[in-house]
A = this chain, B = another copy of it.
Amino acid sequence: MPRQVDYEERRRRIAEAVCTLIARSGMEAVSLRDVAAQADVSMGAVQRCFRTKEDMLLFALKHVSQHVSERANQRIAATHTPQAAATLLSHTLAELALLDEASKTQAHVWLAFVAHAPASEKLAAVLHDTYAELHRLIAWLIRYGQDTQEVLQGLDAEHEAHTLLALADGLTVHVLAGQHTPATALALLQRHIDVLLTNPSDRG
């Protein structure tokens, strides 16, 4: 058995390079050569890792999706000291909205992929699954809040989750478009969540 390489690690490294390039100058600016240069590997290495360019882009999308989902799940799972459900809801949505400066790259990439999803079956599938998972998560949080009497009982958790997700996505877009600062977007999101709470001062 000759020289062995950690392909997973390399794939991730290349995916990061793809994201950097997409965030910098859009999706059509991503060429195999540029990716190789950005990831500091040879073009041959890229081609060995991914059969085609489309495979590479798809992997990059999954990479980002996974990153976002995981972060949201961890935020919840890591809550040893039981937090207020309302706080949890606020923080989780704030993270999903990719509002902070550090998430800007991911937001760029996400938007680029959403824009191209209609032209690619597989891409659309990944996005669909990710959204479904996030929706499940938010709806669960809302029901949890209702159990703890923090969220109004009359609300339909499924509907409110859809609305919250759409609002979060819309705000992400508006921040990227320079229409809002992350801070004002966050405030708008919080204002909307407050309406759902029995006691708005419960905010996190």
A residues near B, CB below 8 A?
23-29, 108, 111-112, 114-119, 124, 127-128, 131-132, 159, 162-163, 165-171, 173-174, 176-180, 184-185, 188, 191-192, 195
Contacts and interface: CB of A to CB of B under 8 A. Distances in A.
Chain copies in the assembly? Answer: 2
Contacts of A132: 179
Nearest 5 pairs of A and B residues by beta carbon: A28-B28, A170-B170, A166-B170, A115-B115, A169-B170
Given A166-B174, A166-B188, A169-B173, 9 more contacts: A27-B28, A108-B118, A111-B115, A112-B115, A114-B173, A124-B177, A166-B167, A170-B171, A170-B173
Nearest to A176: B118
A115 B191 CA distance: 27
Contact of A177 (B117, B162, B180, B191): B117
Interface of A, secondary structure class, is: helix
A34 to B, nearest CB: 14
A163 B167 contact: yes
Q: Which of A26, A117, A185 has the most CB of B within 10 A?
A: A26
B159 A191 contact: yes
Nearest to A163: B188
Q: Which of A119, A170, A177, A184 has the most CB of B within 10 A?
A: A170
Given A166-B170, A170-B167, A114 B159 contact: no
8 contacts: A23-B118, A114-B177, A115-B115, A115-B116, A124-B177, A128-B177, A159-B188, A166-B188
